[in-house]
Amino acid sequence: MRPFSSTYIRKIATVGMLTALAMVLGFVETLIPINLGIPGMKLGLANLIVIIAFYLFDIKTGVIVSLLRIVLIAMTFGNISMMFYSISGATLSLLCMILAKQIKGFSMVGISIIGGIMHNVGQIICAAFVVRTNGVFTYLPLLMIAGVVSGMLIGIAASLVIVRVKPYIHK
């Protein structure tokens, strides 16, 4: 049996650390009360780690961290319905961020804003299927504004972190 390469082991350790950090930020976020009249509205702090993974490593690492975080947070702090809402939002968000990153016309903050908006859109679509009504789409304008604001803040924070951490990262 051939031993694993140090590059492979480093990659697994990196994904593990990023996932753990995203989980911690996801837990911290549950401690921050946000009540703007929309159930489940959050800042998206864990998405900070996904953006950092996209830019410091690669898209695949960001996707893996995002999906692992969702499953592990749902199993640890939430439930299966929370996981479905999160996966719906994350899937649409990740697809749109990947597309925007490939176009190369968007800044990191712009891609983060797209991710924030589309995460909310994905969750609203999931909610419409679950509750079998289009009435949930009335929340969409406020959620889109929240997605822009949180996406902008997450994008700015990610760019600040990346500038400071990048010299220490060995791909």
pLDDT value at position 167?
85
Specify the CATH number of the domain 7-168: 1.10.1760.20
pLDDT tens, 48-91? 999 999 999 999 999 999 999 999 988 887 788 888 999 999 99
**What is the rounded distance in angstroms from the CA atom of residue 20 to the CA atom of residue 123?**
23
DSSP code at position 78: S
Query: Residues of the chain with pLDDT > 70: what percent?
Result: 94
For the entire predicted model, the pTM comes to: 0.89
